[in-house]
Chain A
Amino acid sequence: MKKNSLLELKNVYAGYYEMNIIHDISLFIDEGEIVALMGPNGAGKSTILKAIFGLIKHSGDLLYEGDKIHPSPHELPKMGISLVPQGRRIFNSLTVEENIEIGGFSLNDENECKRRMEHLFKLFPTLEEKRSEFAGNLSGGQQQLVSIARGLMMQPRLLLLDEPTLGLSPKIVKEIFKTIKEINETQKMAIIVVEHNLHSLLPITDRAYVLSHGKIVATGSGEEIKNSDILERVFMGKI
């Protein structure tokens, strides 16, 4: 008998107001996998993450370890799912330390929060040097690290990363992906990444879903997707 996936979406529809942006989406992610959601702007990649995290309403089934869930942002961090939102969304007037501390809100344990924060500062030494600085004064790459560190405070089993390299230089992009892979390998954390940066992402993904107009049009390993012409066809608007 096949073990339950960590998270599974079955025939999920979701969107804004009365309009569905994603249609009949079925996908899954197993423990310790990196799964990529790819596609052009407006394909519905971020909408899928928002539906998983309960930020927008959905129809269809969301199964977490085989159990149907009705996600709410208040509950998911405690269940082991964290979201690193698009555009970093850090709190500029708070220090690096205070930003990361906010990520551990659902712990309800000050000592554990501090312990995890120190662990994260070891993982991200750049941030340790800047821990008392206002997050708004950091560079784009450092702010993205703060955003990722904040998402890791709950030590999630599943991390949802929405465009983690948006607006960053190629050098920083490479470092971010290296960090993602390290987190995945050392903590056995499952990660769903929404990303435009295909060349950097595909080599580290176990499976990729290609989306167009809110539907999944192709699935395969990173290598399979890379060797096919599906991405070209999707990004050129031929599908």
Chain B
Amino acid sequence: MDYIFHIAIIVSIYGILALAQNLVMGETGLLTIAGAAFYGIGAYVAGIFSTSLGLNITIALVAAPLITAVIAMILGTSFARFRDDYFLLATLGFLMIFNTVAKNWTSLTGGSLGIAGISKPHMFGITLLTPESFIWLAVFVLLIVAIICYFISRSSFGRALNAIREDEEALKIFGYKVSTYKLASFTIGASLSSLAGVLFASYLTFIDPTLFTVNESILLWAMIILGGIATNRGALMGALLLILIPESLRFIGFPDEISGLMRQCIYGLILIFLMLYRPKGIFGKYNL
């Protein structure tokens, strides 16, 4: 039973990340690969708050989005002049800087050894030690993030983001300050991603820089493309499938020495077939 709760927690964490990525990339059309960096910032805030400052993880759940929002605002303002591929490269640069800092600022981040012994959340007199108890917090945060994303996508702000994705020059004609909208979307997306980082660090009780690399960002891309660009339910479905598919392949019974490789190959094939027969993703209406 613990295994099922474990998978549900991981799905919830990636569900949050996919929703945040969908807001920035799906709804607004900003190609960003910095998702893993903001996820990592959240995780490191939790790690530092817990181990160096001795604070409760619930405080990190409030502080991490704020700290990440400030970083994302500074970053987004500096990147405002970039578009499309250039924006993507700039966010890749930021992810590389984040990884370098995480690896080398040993006194703060623990360097390559990471941060161990991060505490589990303690709330209402209960410490969420087991997956069975932790799942409630993970699902609660996922629900909050899903509600935020739902209301954004239904609001006039969300419609402006969609219009930016389609033709930002046309939107300027009607008096919209497009750069402000893009910055807001980028900042909100980053803040939401950091929540997933706090949950992840607190659940695993250990983090290191290898957990927040470009591979994680590519996985988030895959999730929202598979689920369908610019749909919240698509982001959630993508997260669910891309966590469940590799997990379910564990039970096929490949010989131990090749099981890891075979799982990766089958996983890759499933993705290729899905893209061949459903290029807009499961719930999507638009191509990337």
Q: Which 10 A-B pairs have the closest CB atoms?
A: A89-B170, A106-B175, A77-B175, A91-B163, A91-B166, A73-B172, A105-B174, A74-B175, A83-B173, A105-B175
Q: Is A103 an interface residue (CB 8 A)?
A: yes
Compute how far the CA of A48 lies from the CA of B174 in the bound complex, rounded to whole angstroms: 18
Would you give the shortest CB distance from B229 to chain A, in whole angstroms?
10
Query: In the complex, which of the residues B163, B169, B177, B285 contacts A102, with contact meaning CB atoms closer than 8 Å?
Result: B163
Would you give the shortest CB distance from B185 to chain A, in whole angstroms?
16
Query: In the complex, which of the residues A75, A77, A78, A94 contacts B162, with contact meaning CB atoms closer than 8 Å?
Result: A94
Contacts of A89 in B (CB 8 A): 167, 169-170, 173
Would you give the shortest CB distance from B112 to chain A, in whole angstroms?
45
Contacts of A101 in B (CB 8 A): 156, 159
Known contacts A98-B159, A101-B156, A77 near B174 by CB under 8 Å:
yes
Main SS of chain B's interface residues? helix
Number of A-B contacts (CB under 8 A): 58
**21 A-B contact pairs sorted by A residue (CB < 8 Å):** A73-B174, A73-B175, A74-B177, A75-B175, A76-B175, A77-B174, A77-B175, A89-B167, A89-B173, A91-B163, A91-B166, A91-B167, A91-B171, A93-B286, A94-B163, A101-B159, A102-B159, A102-B160, A103-B174, A105-B174, A150-B174
Compute how far the CA of A10 lies from the CA of B66 in the bound complex, rounded to whole angstroms: 51
- Measured CB to CB, the residues of B under 8 A from A are 156, 159-160, 162-163, 165-167, 169-177, 230, 285-286
Known contacts A101-B156, A102-B159, A105-B176, A93 near B285 by CB under 8 Å:
yes
Task: Give the number of chain A interface residues (Cβ < 8 Å).
Answer: 23
Residue of B with least CB distance to A53:
B173
A-B contacts besides A73-B173, A77-B175, A89-B167, 16 pairs, CB < 8 Å: A53-B173, A73-B172, A73-B175, A74-B177, A78-B175, A85-B173, A91-B170, A93-B285, A93-B286, A94-B163, A98-B159, A101-B156, A102-B171, A103-B174, A105-B160, A150-B174
Residues 62-98 of chain A, each 1 if its beta carbon lies under 8 Å from chain B, else 0: 0000000000011111100001010001111110001
Residue of B with least CB distance to A87:
B170
Contacts of A73 in B (CB 8 A): 172-175
Complex contact B166–A93 (CB within 8 A)? yes
Compute how far the CA of A103 lies from the CA of B156 in the bound complex, rounded to whole angstroms: 12
Compute how far the CA of A89 lies from the CA of B162 in the bound complex, rounded to whole angstroms: 14
Residue of A with least CB distance to B285:
A93
Residue of B with least CB distance to A107:
B175
Compute how far the CA of A85 lies from the CA of B167 in the bound complex, rounded to whole angstroms: 12
Would you give the shortest CB distance from A9 to chain B, in whole angstroms?
19
Residue of B with least CB distance to A153:
B174
Would you give the shortest CB distance from A125 to chain B, in whole angstroms?
24
Compute how far the CA of A74 lies from the CA of B162 in the bound complex, rounded to whole angstroms: 19
Contacts of B174 in A (CB 8 A): 73, 77, 102-103, 105-106, 150
Complex contact A93–B177 (CB within 8 A)? no
Compute how far the CA of A75 lies from the CA of B176 in the bound complex, rounded to whole angstroms: 10
Max count, chain A CB within 10 A of own CB: residue among B160, B174, B177, B285 = B174
Contacts of A105 in B (CB 8 A): 160, 174-176
Compute how far the CA of A98 lies from the CA of B156 in the bound complex, rounded to whole angstroms: 9
Compute how far the CA of A103 lies from the CA of B286 in the bound complex, rounded to whole angstroms: 23
Contacts of B286 in A (CB 8 A): 93
